[in-house]
Amino acid sequence: MPDLDFDMDEDELKPLHGSAAAAVLLMLFSEDEAAQILSRLEPDEVRQLGYAMYDVADVEIEEVNLALDQFVNKARRRTTIGYGATRHIRGAMHKALGAERADNILARITPPTRTTKLSMLKWMESGEIAAILENEHPQVMAIILAHLDPTAAAEVLSMLPQEYQEDVVYRVATLGPVSAEALDDLEVMMTSGTPITKKGATSQRGGTSEAAAIMNNVRKDMEQRIMKALTKRDKIIGQTIEEEMFIFDNLIDLDDKNMGALLRGIDTELMIVALKGANEMLKAKMLGCMSQRAAQSIVDEMEERGPMRLADVIEAQKQVVAEARRLADQGTIMLGAGGDDFV
């Protein structure tokens, strides 16, 4: 029987990227170590990584080595420790000084952080949230929706009684500061299902931008009904929400001439990040309005960088939309009308 050659030509190997490479690395850790990493991820990231772990279960040893090489190379390029710094500093201080002395020092030197209440919301199903809110005051509904991802908020909104929907969106748009105590009460309500008895709840969430993001994810007939009622109730609020409902995906309505004019004013670095989160049709249209060389350069750079933080992608897309609005205000480009339905 001839000897089996396990040495593969490096050129024949396809480097793993994104969640596949991350899954390979995660499977090299112990269960406890992997659990610590997974506990710091968002629900969508956990699901995506879980699928990838099954996909790479039979990965070749050479591919594992390539994934490790990619990780080491990326780690070398980092300019800051970043991940887990707070826990590391706290642990070192406790071991060096003892818990009481360490906490006293940390209380003076730790920079202020923004605490996130109602963190369990992102792990709950939309129907479950809607069922809990069904008999609550519209202000409570608005606070909860303002703490949800816009897509999830739109799903919950569609499940709420129709007579409350316009009022809830208006309250999201005009939502002021909410006290930590009120958020604690809401957190208890969401976990136990106990209705809130405290009133006067006074973290800053909401605003017309969040209301617009929610409205961008509801059905067209529902959007038209709610926006008509909102504008009748408060013309300024209604118009502001409508203006902010133009989002990155709407850029697909631009014709090639207007798209080209927009792209000429956008920095390449910004486009690399913005296109990372674009749907395939919009991405293809944007790349098609560039020179072949510029488009290929952006594609190569996106592949090289792998996954990017969702927050960074959203911010980049907002900047592109802001530039589109600026050019439209100047009369340089014409933004596509967003009122048409397609089936």
Written as six digits, the tokens of 145 are: 């929706």
Highest mean pLDDT among 26-30, 56-60, 85-89, 292-296: 292-296
Q: How many CB atoms lie within 10 A of CB 232?
A: 10
Q: For residue 136, what is the DSSP state?
A: S
Question: For the CA atoms of 163, 164, 169, 174, what is the dihedral angle to 10 degrees?
Answer: 120
Q: How many CB atoms lie within 10 A of CB 306?
A: 16
Predicted confidence band at 234 (pLDDT cuts at 50, 70, 90)?
very high
Collapsed DSSP state (helix, strand, coil) of residue 240: helix
Cβ-based neighbours of 275, under 8 Å, separated by 6 or more: 283, 286, 287, 298, 302
Confidence (pLDDT) at 191: 62
Quote the distance between the C-alpha of residue 295 and its chain's center: 25
Checking if the pLDDT of 26 tops 80, the result is no
Q: How far apart are CA 231 and CA 242, in angstroms?
A: 9
**For range 190-213, the mean pLDDT:** 64
DSSP 142-197: HHHHHTS-HHHHHHHHHHS-HHHHHHHHHHHHT--B--HHHHHHHHHHHHH-PPP-
The one-letter amino acid code at 327 reads L
pLDDT digits (tens, 9 = 90+) for 235-293: 999 988 887 787 788 888 888 999 999 999 899 999 999 998 788 899 999 999 999 99
Q: Which helix (H) or strand (E) holds 127?
A: helix 126-133
Full-model pTM: 0.46
The Cβ-side half-sphere exposure at 286, using a 13 Å CA radius, reads 26
Whole-Å CA distances, 212 to 137, 245, 276, 339: 21, 5, 23, 15
Confidence (pLDDT) at 112: 46
- Do residues 123 and 47 make contact, with C-beta atoms less than 8 angstroms apart? no
The one-letter amino acid code at 66 reads L
Checking if the pLDDT of 203 tops 70, the result is no
Question: Where is pLDDT greater, at 298 or 23?
Answer: 298
- Do residues 305 and 273 make contact, with C-beta atoms less than 8 angstroms apart? no
- Do residues 25 and 59 make contact, with C-beta atoms less than 8 angstroms apart? no
Confidence (pLDDT) at 286: 92
pLDDT digits (tens, 9 = 90+) for 109-156: 665 444 445 566 767 788 888 888 888 888 888 888 888 888 889 999
Confidence (pLDDT) at 4: 39
Confidence (pLDDT) at 118: 58
Confidence (pLDDT) at 233: 92
Paired strand residues for 177: 204
Q: How far apart are CA 115 and CA 105, in angstroms?
A: 20
Domains and CATH numbers, the chain: 10-77 (no CATH), 119-244 (1.10.220.30), 248-330 (1.10.220.30)
Confidence (pLDDT) at 110: 60
pLDDT digits (tens, 9 = 90+) for 58-105: 666 777 777 677 766 665 555 444 455 667 677 777 777 677 666 666
